[in-house]
Amino acid sequence: MDRLASHSFRCSAVYPTLAVPSVVDACNWYVECLGFTNRFMWGDPPTHGAILLDEACVHFWQGSPQLGANWLYFDVNDLDAIYARAIANDVPIARAPETYPWGMREFNAVDLNGYNIRFGQHIGSSE
C-alpha cells in the first residue's frame, strides 16, 4: 500500500479564486448587491481580495475572467432575502427561484464580470 494512501488528510476549507479586471469592484459588487462582507484586500492597489457569506469565502485576483459553463454555488438559509436583494440591486437573473426534485429551491444570477452564481436553499429547512 502506498504510504500516502494510508495517511488521513484533512481540509478545513476550499477557496474558489476567480480572475477579475478589478478586485475592488468585484469585492464591492458582492458586498453591495448581495450582502457579502469583505474579508481582505491585498496590495496597493489591491490585486487579491476575498469576500465572505457567513463562513463561505471566495477569492478574486486581478486578471482576465475565465468564463464558461462553471458556476459558484452558495447553499443558503434564506433564498428569498438574497433574491430580493439581488433584484433591488439590478443583478442580472438568469433563472428565477424554482423548486427542484432534488430538494432544493434555487436561482441563478450573473455577476458583474459574467461569472455564473447560483444560490440554493434546502426545502423545508432554515439551515
- pLDDT digits 0-9 by tens, 96-127: 999 999 999 999 999 999 999 999 999 964 44
Q: Does 3.55.50.30 match the CATH number of domain 17-62+69-122?
A: no
pLDDT 10s digits, 66-94: 888 788 999 999 999 999 999 999 999 99
pTM: 0.84
pLDDT given at position 63: 95
For the chain, domain boundaries: 17-62+69-122
pLDDT given at position 2: 54
Burial profile 56-76: b = 16 or more Cβ within 10 angstroms, e = fewer: bbbbbbbeebeeeeeeebbbb
Examine the pLDDT at 14 and tell me if it is beyond 80. Answer: yes
pLDDT band at 11 (very low <50, low <70, confident <90, very high): confident
Task: Give yes or no for a contact between 55 and 75, defined as CB atoms under 8 angstroms apart.
Answer: no
CB under 8 Å, gap of 24 or more: what pairs does 121-126 form?
121/75, 121/76, 121/77, 121/78, 121/79, 122/75, 123/99, 125/77, 126/77, 126/78
Query: What phi and psi, each to the nearest 5 degrees, are found at residue 32?
Result: -75, -45
Q: What string of DSSP letters covers 40-77? A: EEEETTEEEEEEEETTEEEEEEES----SS-EEEEE-S
pLDDT given at position 8: 67
Mean pLDDT of the chain: 90
